[in-house]
Structure 1
């Protein structure tokens, strides 16, 4: 039986409900381009069709997942546990934001006529992110599926707007750098088809609830040849709904989240001041042949100070920050998630003056004396 999820739209100063319809939707087995010369991101607008959904065992037999290259890490360490925690059906909502943290409306051509007639502004996509990682070798696939918003019962099935397929590791690897933790958290650097544009994808798992995560994507460009600048931000708030099923079914009535783009942004006072950090790091500048690396714990506790400058405040207690060190030698690209008062988790990509990735750091931070 179909269920109905409720998103939020704006009519003048009024907020009204927008319905995203949840139906069981069968989809074809993912098709992967096997002829990449350079890592790049490929999105396509698929035709709407029905087919028998691929089972997890079918997807496991995909050669993309079974082969490995010298550019990826070994299977030692926490990869098998990471693969188990990252794999599955992740459903939720996604939204785009400006560099000032303002939500961006969905394109007019995807908004139903009924909403336009009532001057409803729609900001959130309903999304699926089926993910499958191989525990035996460091390789994975995932698809970001955006679904068109619908009005009430006008649609018989959830209709896809587009599908963004990505591979990590293996002979068709698309990622430039990938750092991971056993929890399922990861940070990825993606090249794009647009010259001089990078995507920094930070996936943070809630340590209190391993079935809840956020993905914050910083879209970066270059100015003055090598200076990194923020272009815009994408945020996805997702829940785990079961083992990998290749996206053949939405969470339906069980979806535990709702549209968030126009909800209250983070209170900046909650994340300012002195923090004590327990860090895990992956080094890339001195490991040019290792694209996939485990984030390994660093001994001791470091102190850091966070101020208002460069902070972009986002809903769901999230933030983004891009800043240069005083000497101009490094650029820090950070995102963070306030879990509760006095406790945050962060992910950082640190680049050199010439735009080369030096290291990735994830941190558990607290304002308390005893970390």
Structure 2
């Protein structure tokens, strides 16, 4: 429980920033015109980014995590922003858990959540905290369709990206002002190539174990070299990437996300699924680019 207590302290608070939606190929999706302020329309400026908030509260005993992903109406200048939508999430505790199927965490505040949606849709939410600044994080969410025609097939439908910064203790999102946003909007790409390797923490899942919330093992093991050539990788803004691929030698599926924290270091996380799209393992690693690759 000590690791959960450390996690709860790091993850709790008011997080703000920007979010954007992308296609399965990594192309940014423009906001609907009815949401765009008239000034931007007059200037013929296209908007791709939502201003967002994510008030988060984790209780140490018993383990319980609750957070709201809030999208705010776009504004010009420092006008007070209004809420457009709120997506409430809950992990642990008693009562309904909003479709949570698996949850793995570590003391830094990073976590991975698997949400079971309707119509055979899965939502994989990766939250990566910067090892250089625990008040800076990204959330990468993959929407995946599971097709079952004798052999399961997992298809990436879309990607949602949040770039967030911690700006104070939990207040349930009671302060909504455009000028308090600490991050800038994003709309660029990055190529990630080479062979990467590092230490990783792992949480395993199986059908006989009904425990949803698992700690990512603190005894980190050396990961296998990971080649990334960009061909099967969806490149995202702010030095981020993700992928969903089928195993070359078996019938497994591997979802992966990564965040380049400097030229030769990256924090990555992955989910390994069986041939029937059942989650087998969640891992998180701090990797270094191998020289000469």
Q: Which residue matches 1:324? A: 246
Note the 1:97-176 alignment, pairs <5 A.
97-152=22-77, 157-171=80-94, 172-174=96-98, 175-176=100-101
| Counterpart Cα distance in 1 of 2:255 and 2:271 | 5
1:201 aligns with 2:125: yes
Change (3 A) 1:118 1:299: closer
Verify the 8 A CA contact 2:82 2:176 in the aligned structure 1. no
| Counterpart Cα distance in 2 of 1:159 and 1:250 | 7
* Structure 2: gaps (5+ residues): none
- Aligned to 2:143, which of 215, 219, 226? 219
Q: CA deviation at 1:317?
A: 0.1
Comparing 166-175 with 330-339, which one deviates more in the overlay?
166-175
* Structure 1: gaps (5+ residues): 1-75
Q: CA deviation at 1:191?
A: 1.6
Verify the 8 A CA contact 1:221 1:230 in the aligned structure 2. yes
Q: Which residue matches 2:267? A: 345
1:228 aligns with 2:158: no
Comparing 240-249 with 215-224, which one deviates more in the overlay?
215-224
Q: Which residue matches 2:114? A: 189
Q: Which residue matches 2:280? A: 358
TM-score (norm 1): 0.74
TM-score (norm 2): 0.92
Q: CA deviation at 1:256?
A: 2.2
Verify the 8 A CA contact 2:189 2:238 in the aligned structure 1. yes
Q: CA RMSD in A?
A: 1.7
Verify the 8 A CA contact 2:81 2:177 in the aligned structure 1. no
Q: Which residue matches 1:311? A: 233
Change (3 A) 1:161 1:267: same
| Counterpart Cα distance in 1 of 2:269 and 2:177 | 28
Q: How many residues align?
A: 286
The structure with more strand, counted as a fraction of residues: 2
1:281 aligns with 2:202: yes
